Amino acid sequence: MTRWEAVIGLEIHVQLATQSKIFSAASTAFGAEPNTQACAVDLGLPGVLPVLNHEAVRMAVMFGLATDAAIAQRSIFARKNYFYPDLPKGYQISQYELPIVEGGQLEIALQDKGHKVIGITRAHLEEDAGKSLHEEFDDLTGVDLNRAGTPLIEIVSEPDMRSAKEAIAYMKKIHSIVRYLGISDGNMQEGSFRCDANVSVRQAGQETLGTRTETKNLNSFRFVERAIDFEIDRQIAVLEDGGEIVQETRLYDASKGITRPMRSKEHANDYRYFPDPDLLPVVIEPEMIEAIRQQLPELPSEKASRFCKQYGLDTHDAENLSISREVGEYFERTVQDTDAEAKQVANWIVGELTGALNQDNIDITESPVSSSMLACLLDRIEDGTISGKIAKDVFRLMWMGEGDADQIIESQGLTQITDGSEIEKLVDQVLQDNPAQVEQFRSGKDKVFGFFVGQVMKLSKGKANPKQVNSLLRQKLQ
Ligand code: ADP
Ligand code: MG
């Protein structure tokens, strides 16, 4: 049997969070009435000239610096010519031969521990096209040009990824970086962050790359993962059947979970790229690059290593807490407000809170349990009012809007039983009810001990202090 290896390279389109478009003063705000935000420049009417948005350049440079890339001191815009109804000029202004950012890299965490460096070939500035709307019109297609001219950076990776999981880790890292930098809202539903996945397979150990397909316009992490896995399986099946992979552009059908051919692969010379005569080269002085470097915020990997050092967290937790600025801030606010250990705070955020956020599909900024509510809950574990187990129930109730930890503990009567004589009663009861197990324990079967602990906890409805239960049981049984 042949062993196959997948090879994946991603092209990620990121909408930049500028107020106005890349070559015009029209607004980039999402959600306006169709065709109310496309000006003469975006429409390519005769006699207009594009003027480059300084802010878009600054944002592209920020991205380059954040990924250890080289910033081109001179880059040029080119016209990429093709015909499509949502492209009124008949060409897209992009960068071709001299992109603004080249040769970056970033590190992703692998599932089975360890890290891997993924190369970034280039990132170039370009304008977005408009949108074709098929759904609301019977047998017709609507064209909305509000998006035409919105600034993008297209980030092209090296073919360095070997599984869908690695590709997702890379994509999430890019997503995290652009949001940290504040250069994009990264909103995938609104199309601010989308991805084309290039996939090929080859026999393990083979040097040369196999023929690839490119699946276009994937706008969720889940779709990217499914589309890649589907492509890998499909390509292996074709090759094992003695067939050949056709280099082509494919589309992902989310309802069926499959990819379908869209068109045969276009080549660079199909686009008749040439330098845009309306735009000057972009010249960036070293001083400007330095000034931008000075203003870079703390980035995800820097935050993660600070969390390890400052709070004694392990890498896994530190990375999870550095996913976004907001998660990092939530963590640090909670640590500030509680007497519990930072490690404990990390466990609750990475475990309980993240689980609940994912389940309800909401962002941490919308969490019904605020950082101060979590801090108070952890204090109640810390001061022995409730056990860690009961705390999870309290957390669920806080999540459901039943009040803060103290209110819930009070109204539900959840206070931990720490009164020794009360626990003793429970212990006696359990020993009395289970004479056979007591016999077993005394004849050397240590394992039954856990059974007794469980019974006492159950009898106390989870409220007995587990430490005291343990030591009392030991005393009584010996
Ligand atoms: P194009 O300009 O035609 O889209 P590029 O050479 O710029 O082609 O590559 C686009 C993306 O495809 C890059 O992310 C690159 O890493 C990836 N890629 C190129 N060849 C392969 C391959 N054989 N298998 C998987 N990915 C590939
Ligand atoms: Mg491409």
Nearest ligand by distance to the CA of 11:
1
- Structure confidence by residue, pLDDT tens digits, 340-361: 999 999 999 999 999 999 999 9
Distance from C-alpha of 59 to C-alpha of 166, rounded to nearest angstrom: 26
| Spans of all domains in the chain | 4-292, 298-412, 420-477
Q: Could you give the count of Cα atoms lying within 13 Å of 57 in the half-sphere of its Cβ?
A: 19
Distance from C-alpha of 340 to C-alpha of 336, rounded to nearest angstrom: 10
C-beta of 158 in contact with ligand 1 (< 6 A): yes
Are the C-beta atoms of residues 423 and 469 closer than 8 Å to each other?
yes
Q: Check: CATH 1.25.40.10 for 420-477?
A: no
- Structure confidence by residue, pLDDT tens digits, 13-71: 999 999 999 999 999 999 899 999 999 999 999 999 999 999 999 999 999 999 999 99
Q: How many residues does the chain have?
A: 478
pLDDT score recorded for residue 261: 93
C-beta of 118 in contact with ligand 1 (< 6 A): no
Q: Is the dihedral of CA 16, 18, 21, 22 positive or negative?
A: negative
C-beta of 7 in contact with ligand 1 (< 6 A): yes
Is 35 exposed, middle or buried, given 0-12, 13-18 or 19+ CB atoms closer than 10 A?
middle
CB within 8 Å of 104: residues ≥ 6 apart: 64, 67, 68, 69, 70, 119, 120, 123
Q: pLDDT-based confidence at 112, cuts 50/70/90? A: confident
Amino acid at 20: S
Closest atom of ligand 1 to 267 CA is: 3
Q: Is the dihedral of CA 322, 324, 325, 326 positive or negative?
A: negative
**Tokens 């993962």, residue?**
225
- Name beta bridge partners: 197: 10, 215
- Structure confidence by residue, pLDDT tens digits, 191-240: 999 999 999 999 999 999 999 999 998 999 999 999 999 999 999 999 99
